[in-house]
Amino acid sequence: MTQAKSKFRAIPAVDRVLREMDEHVERFGHERISAAVKVEIENLRDAISNSSAADEKNFLFDIVEAVDKSMLASEQRDFIPVFNLSGTILHTNLGRALLPDVAIEAAVQVAQSASNLEYDLAAGKRGDRDNHIEGLICELSGAEAATVVNNNAAAVLLTLNSLARKREVPVSRGELVEIGGSFRMPEIITSAGCKLVEIGTTNRTHKKDFRSAITADTALLLKVHTSNYRIEGFVSEVSEKEIAELAHENDIPFVIDLGSGNFLDFKSYGLPEEATVKQSLESGADVVTFSGDKLLGGPQCGIIAGRKDLVEAIKSNPLKRALRVDKMTLAALTEVLRLYQNPTQLEHSLPTLKLLTRPLPEIKIQAEHLQEKLHAALTPAYQVSVCECSSQVGSGALPTSDIPSYGLMVVPQNNSDDTLRSLAQTMRELPKPVIGRISNGSYLLDMRCLEDEQGFIEQLSLLQDLLT
């Protein structure tokens, strides 16, 4: 008791601590440092109360050190790069597509300087920010007009709100998908102010279902790319062409939410087939919407392309202003679209395509090269072997297509799930966290997306300390 009392009395005053911290005060400001000192003094009081406080001779030093530590920690960025070895190339939680250098440079340039974002340089007056991308999108897709918003969810919302507010939108029950996060097609349709009319069944929807759903109140026909799942077996869906015919017979537009938009013939790259934006427009869609940061490989945005009168109606909706993209996104998107003008170079110039088409032997060699190094860095409590695995595109693109890859498989000698989970956690505690996946009693690192091999190797030496 008396001991605690004397300890409480030994707590230095805030001003006394601040006198030891001139440099910190100069660097971080008086207010922040004195607040941090008060926090540490409070912590010390708690420690004395529960008899865990150290020697009172060190109190001053301990507080200074704790404040220094908390200031250093506060300097660490919260938003940091990670190694995506999860096997999912376009991982929504890890930021989806990686931008090409030209796109990054363009974004930096407009961030640093005033620009002609919405300024017509020839006329010397206000311009339209869509002018930077509309021509390119039309050229690549065959659309008459185009605009861009914050993401594809916004593109769907804006399109429906502009073309079908307070009116009916028939959609096949097989396409009322949930994309992840909170994008659920029925809710988006309702939030856009439209009346959802469910037609057909989960596995089968026929042309006659569309036909009988059309009333005087039907605003448009909607098709949704079932991006992230596939129904197999006794199934039937109505083709884009057939829906388009039906829509046009009834003088209403046909809208497709393509999900992951694509401008390329994927087959020619040895990848699973995926319809292009151009094909959908050619089969009669009047408006299509798609994401910028899925297969397209650009920044997060949502692209709306199609018939001029409809795109004009969409652009003049007041909601467009609320959903518009910023200048960095526009600058980056413009450069990504320009790369598509030269498709022969795309495999080298567009990171998403480069990762998707990375040669299997190259991935295998990388896995072999890293196997010993990872094994040496882990304690002998783990086995590390090279294994075949499969990568996924992710973000709902090509959901049933696995892309063969190679990885490193780590198995704890004790076969314990706890050990596996704690290994995965330790890998996430590295300065540049490593994100792998746990699968079938092993911790798997898919090498497909490992570009900075040296950076990966360099931090392995830290594992020993973290694991013990």
Interface contacts to ligand PLP, rule CB under 6 A: 151-153, 156, 179, 183, 224-225, 227, 257, 259-260, 291, 302, 395-396
Q: Which amino acid is at 426?
A: T
Nearer to ligand PLP, 64 or 157 (CB): 157
> Which residue minimizes CB distance to ligand PLP?
259
CB nearer ligand PLP, residue 399 or residue 433: 399
Q: Least CB distance from residue 295 to ligand PLP, whole Å?
A: 10
**Cα gap 395→352, rounded to integer Å:** 12
Which DSSP string do the residues of 337-364 spell out, in sequence order? HHHHTSGGGHHHH-HHHHHHT--HHHHH
Beta strands 125-126 and 442-446, pairing class: unpaired
CA distances from residue 457 to 94, 412, 428, 462 in whole angstroms, order as listed? 21, 20, 15, 10
Is the Cβ of residue 224 or residue 331 nearer to ligand PLP in the bound state? 224
CA distance 210 to 246: 8
For ligand PLP, the closer of residues 243 and 408 by Cβ is: 243
CA 229 to chain centre: 19
Element (H, E) at 68: helix 59-75
- Nearest distance from C-beta of residue 238 to ligand PLP, angstroms: 17
Min CB(292)–ligand PLP separation in Å: 7
DSSP run (H or E) holding 35: helix 30-49
What residues form DSSP beta bridges with 271?
none
CB of 374 to ligand PLP, least distance (A): 34
Shortest spacing between CB 227 and ligand PLP, in angstroms: 3
Q: Is 419 exposed, middle or buried (0-12, 13-18, 19+ CB in 10 A)?
A: middle
Name the minimum Å distance from CB 455 to ligand PLP.
29
Distance CA 166, CA 388 (A): 52
CB of 396 to ligand PLP, least distance (A): 4
Based on CB atoms, which residue is closest to ligand PLP, 130 or 175?
Answer: 175
Q: Which is nearer to ligand PLP, 17 or 153 (CB)?
A: 153
Nearer to ligand PLP, 179 or 252 (CB): 179
Is 259 or 412 the residue whose CB approaches ligand PLP more closely?
Answer: 259
In one-letter notation, the amino acid at residue 191 is S
Identify which of residues 223 and 315 has a Cβ nearer to ligand PLP in the complex: 223
Q: Which residue has the tokens 């596995």?
A: 203
Backbone torsions φ then ψ of 24, nearest 5 degrees: -65, -40
To ligand PLP, the closest distance from the beta carbon of 447 in angstroms equals: 26
CB of 353 to ligand PLP, least distance (A): 18
Spell out a b/e string for 40-70, using b for 16 or more CB atoms within 10 Å of the CB, else e: bbeebeeebeeeebeebeebbebbbebbeee
Strand partners of residue 386:
408
